[in-house]
Chains A and B, each alone.
Chain A
Amino acid sequence: MKTTLLAVAVALSATAALAQSMPAEVTEPVTITFYNYNLASAGNGADATRKMIAEFEAAHPNIHVEGVPVQPQDIATRLQADIVAGQSVDLVQMPFAALGFAAENLGAVALEDIVPAEELAGHFEGMVPNGLELGRLNGKTYGLAYTFSTPVLFYNADLFRKAGLDPDQPPATWAELKEAALKIKASTDALPLATGIYGPTALDWLMQGVINSNGGAVINADRTEMTFASPEAIEAIAMLRDLAQEGITENLSITAQMEGMAAGNTAMYLQTSAIQGYLVKGATGNFELRAAAMPAFGDKPVKPSNSGSALSLHSTDPVKQRAAWELMKYLTSERGYTIITSEIGYLPLRPSIVNDPEYLGEWVKAHPLVQPNLAQLEKLAPYVPLPGPNYLQIGISMMDAMEMATFGNDDNVAGILTEAQERTQRLMP
Chain B
Amino acid sequence: MRLGHLHLDPTMTDFAAEPHPPRMLRRMTRARRFRRQLVPYLYLLPAVACFVIWIYEPLAQAFVLSFQQWNLLPTAPKTWVGLDNYRNIFDLPKFWQALGNTWYYLVGLLPLAVLLPLVIALFTQDLPPRSRNLYRALIFVPMIVPPVVAAAVWRWLLDPSHGILNLGLQGLGTKPIGFLSDPDLALWTITFITGWKLIGFATLILSAANAAIDESLVEAARLDGASKWEIIRDIRLPLLSPTLMLLILMVVLLGAQWSFSYIHVLTEGGPLGSTTNIYYLLWQFGFGSLSVGWSSASAVILFVGFGLLAAALFALKAKVTFHDD
Contacts and interface: CB of A to CB of B under 8 A. Distances in A.
B181 interface: yes
Given A200-B268, A260-B161, A393 B71 contact: no
Interface in A133-166: none
A84 B75 CA distance: 9
A260 B288 CA distance: 27
Interface stretch (B9-17, B88-96, B110-118, B131-139): B88-96
B287 interface: yes
Interface residues of B, number: 28
A252 interface: yes
A251 B271 contact: yes
Interface in B72-124: 72-76, 88, 91-94
Interface string A390-429: 1011001100100110011000000000000001001100
B181 A389 contact: no
B76 A105 contact: yes
Contacts of B71: 105, 389
A253 interface: yes
B88 A427 contact: yes
Main SS of chain A's interface residues? Answer: helix
A400 to B, nearest CB: 6
Interface centre among A80, A105, A260, A403 (most CB of B within 10 A): A80
Contacts, number: 61
B291 interface: yes
A77 B288 CA distance: 8
Interface residues of A, number: 28
Contact of B291 (A200, A250, A390, A423): A390
A392 B268 contact: no
Contacts of A77: 287, 290
A84 B181 contact: no
A352 B225 CA distance: 97
A251 B161 contact: no
Given A256-B181, A389-B71, A404-B272, A426 B294 contact: no
Given A393-B294, A397-B92, A403 B73 contact: no
Contacts of A404: 272-273
A392 B181 contact: no
A265 interface: yes
A347 interface: no
Contact of B290 (A80, A260, A423, A426): A80
A389 B271 contact: no
Contacts of B273: 400, 404
B210 interface: no
A393 B89 CA distance: 11
B291 A84 contact: no
Nearest to A252: B181
A76 interface: yes
B289 interface: yes
Given A80-B290, A393-B291, A400-B94, A407 B161 contact: no
Contact of B91 (A389, A407, A423): A423
Nearest to A107: B75
B94 A392 contact: no
B41 to A, nearest CB: 36
Interface in B223-238: none
B210 to A, nearest CB: 43
A80 B292 CA distance: 14
Contacts of B88: 390, 393, 426-427
Given A392-B290, A392-B291, A80 B73 contact: yes
Nearest to B178: A250
B181 A265 contact: no
A191 to B, nearest CB: 10
Give the top 7 A-B pairs by smallest Cβ distance, nearest first: A392-B289, A251-B271, A105-B73, A200-B268, A80-B73, A404-B272, A423-B91
Interface of B: 69, 71-76, 88, 91-94, 160-161, 181, 183, 268, 270-273, 285, 287-291, 294
Interface of A: 73, 76-77, 80, 84, 105, 200, 250-253, 256, 260, 265, 389-390, 392-393, 396-397, 400, 403-404, 407-408, 423, 426-427
6 contacts: A105-B71, A389-B291, A392-B288, A400-B272, A426-B91, A427-B88
Given A105-B76, A400-B93, A400-B273, 7 more contacts: A84-B73, A84-B74, A253-B181, A256-B181, A260-B161, A407-B272, A408-B183
